[in-house]
Homo-oligomer: A and B are copies of this chain.
Amino acid sequence: MRAGPSQEEIRRQNLGALLRFVHVRGQISRAELTSELGLNRSTIGALTADLAGVGLVSEEAPRETGRAGRPSLVVRPSSELVYVYAASVEVDRIRVARVGLGGVILDQREAARPRGEAIEAVRPIADFIAAMAATVDPEARCIGAGIAVCGLVRRDDGLVRLGPHLGWLDEPLGHALQDRVPELLPQVTVGNVADLCALAEHTRGVAVGCDNIIYVYGDVGVGAGIIAGGRRVTGHGGYGGEVGHMVVNPHGRSCGCGSRGCWETEIGEYALLRAAGRDGEGRIQGAEAILAVVDAAARGDATAQAAVRQVGDWLGFGVANLVNIFNPELVIFGGTLRDVYLAAAAQVRSRLNSISLPATREHVRLRTPKLGRDAALIGAAELAFENLLADPLG
């Protein structure tokens, strides 16, 4: 029941809408902005001048169009001059990127994740940031940093309440990074990896234009990023989307969370490796091991084929539950679930069709991510850009 906005709020909304447009769509003419945003030419001119004045966008004449008349100026995001740092803390890896306005990855590094608490994970991130910062144009402006992490993140302050596969409990990841390189980072925001992959695919990937999506992210753990009605569903404290701990098999295996038969125990990496007889000591793990099973199945290995079918069945089973709950238009399979889905698409679709209601599933498309492994970094960057886009001159 908020009242309508004041003049100052309207200007802020208009500046944000224009900057977001340029950030998401890339360079665009003033004429197109006029029609896309439904504002008149003089307003677009004034807003663009304001944004250009603080270096967020630049304007220039377009290449020769061959048409008569004065061509409309082209507005571009200042990707080289306005940037954020994005990091992804995964079970095995740490990845860091510098991402310019417009979502351009300008620099990217990665390393094995040091075992231990957040303060250990933060060390290589801070080192990478410092190394990247040394190469940046002194005129350029850092907006902040975003971190994607495979854990439950408290929205208010970025505390990682639980990162089961990192061995973390109540780790202040955001504060740890900011404390380490305070001079380089005006702010640090932390989000769950599945949420941020969903955000990335919704902004720049396979889910552009889709308002109801579920991004199921799986590696050792499983979680979902959910967008409903165009908005992220993250719950009261920020912990929503823990679909990996939806119990699907009450008589199933014990889960690390203390419960039994969680979806994660049936579709996580360990489940596939166990079903394929490849879960012993000293075996390869992670994405490489999953790909090995999928490849073996494709080459005709019966054990691997049975394992892929079994996990595919459970994958479809849980997706059917989520489709009944959310009636999405798109389900995206990310992390190593991408490869499992591709190898078991028939099982997944068959389960979905037999379990979910016809109306809830009728328009749902099953897809793999467009942004691949970059999704977490792109999503973390979007998180870091959010305040700027809400109030570009603030």
Contacts and interface: CB of A to CB of B under 8 A. Distances in A.
A325 interface: yes
A212 B229 contact: no
Contacts of A29: none
Interface string A147-174: 0000010100000011000000000000
A251 to B, nearest CB: 7
Stoichiometry, as copies per complex, reads 2
B3 A245 contact: no
A330 B17 CA distance: 34
A251 B242 CA distance: 24
A77 to B, nearest CB: 14
A219 B232 CA distance: 31
Contact of A325 (B4, B243, B258, B362): B243
A372 B11 CA distance: 45
Contact of A239 (B1, B231, B247, B359): B359
Given A249-B250, A354-B259, A237 B359 contact: yes
Contacts of A1: 17, 20-21, 24, 36-37
A28 B226 CA distance: 39
B247 A328 contact: no
Contacts of A364: 236
A320 B356 contact: no
Interface of A: 1-5, 9-14, 17-18, 20-21, 24, 36-39, 152, 154, 161-162, 211-212, 224, 226, 228-229, 231-243, 245-251, 257-259, 317, 320-322, 324-329, 354-360, 362-364
Given A5-B10, A228-B235, 4 more contacts: A235-B327, A235-B328, A245-B357, A246-B321
25 contacts: A1-B17, A1-B20, A1-B37, A3-B18, A3-B38, A4-B9, A4-B12, A4-B14, A5-B10, A161-B358, A228-B233, A235-B326, A237-B327, A239-B359, A242-B325, A242-B327, A242-B357, A243-B324, A243-B325, A245-B355, A245-B356, A248-B248, A250-B317, A251-B251, A258-B354
